[in-house]
Amino acid sequence: MQPVLVSDALRRFAGGAPEISRAGAVKLIWAHIKANGLQCCSLQVPLMRDDTMHGLNA
């Protein structure tokens, strides 16, 4: 996929990258969710957001 410009919130979340592919953004978000235990185990969907994800519309 082609890289696209990202919002300020996603830029901060992605470590300052001004462009990122959509697939790359999804991978970053899911990696963060799994690394920080933000996924509900029984439903397998992210239900909780932490301060790092504040401002992202997922």
Where exactly are the structural domains of the chain?
A: 4-53
pLDDT (0 to 100) of residue 38 = 77
pLDDT (0 to 100) of residue 14 = 87
The set of residues, in sequence order, having a beta carbon less than 8 Å from that of 39 and lying 6+ positions away, is 33, 45, 46, 47
- pLDDT of 49 > 80? The answer is no
- pLDDT of 46 > 70? The answer is no
Strand partners, 39: 46
Q: Which pLDDT band holds residue 35 (cuts at 50, 70, 90)?
A: confident
Mean pLDDT for the stretch of residues 22-47: 80
- pLDDT of 32 > 90? The answer is no
Name which residue leads in pLDDT, 31 or 37.
31
